[in-house]
Copies of this chain bind each other. A is one copy, B any other.
Amino acid sequence: MKVKLPGIETFPNQFQGYTIRIEIPEYTAVCPKTGLPDFGTILLEYQPVKQVLELKSLKGYVLAYRNVGIFYENAVNRMLKDFVAAAHPKWCQVTGEFNTRGGMHSTITAQYRNPPKSR
């Protein structure tokens, strides 16, 4: 988890009480054990308060994992931590759905505060 990643820029939020959902299907990183690439889809959902994550900067952040050796659990929890630190949202949820490896298909879901059930 000592991985150095670029910061994520934000812009001021103008509305309240709405949610943002961003699906990023081109996530790739490297498995620290085998050195082989992992692929997956990252799903970010949050309710902004004062700041909105800027999309181009968010893309740069996700691209920076390309040659990083990191496990599934660490990647998803690290993203959650970085998104929360950048945007200070009311709540946030990050889901990583990873391509099948060894006949097993993993999905990791981490949350910052409880997302409302009625989404």
What is the interface of chain A, defined by CB distance below 8 A to chain B? 1, 13-15, 17-26, 28, 36-37, 39, 52, 55-56, 58-59, 63, 66-67, 73-74, 76-77, 99-111, 114-115, 117-119
Task: Write the chain B residue with the least CB distance to A24.
Answer: B104
Query: Are A14 and B26 in contact, with the CB atoms below 8 A?
Result: no
A111 CA / B118 CA spacing, docked (Å): 12
Closest beta carbon of chain B to A76's beta carbon, Å: 7
Query: Are B110 and A18 in contact, with the CB atoms below 8 A?
Result: yes
A59 CA / B43 CA spacing, docked (Å): 26
Residues from chain B with a CB closer than 8 A to the CB of A111 are 17-18
A10 CA / B119 CA spacing, docked (Å): 28
- Known contacts A1-B14, A14-B77, A114-B118; A102 and B59 CB within 8 A of each other: yes
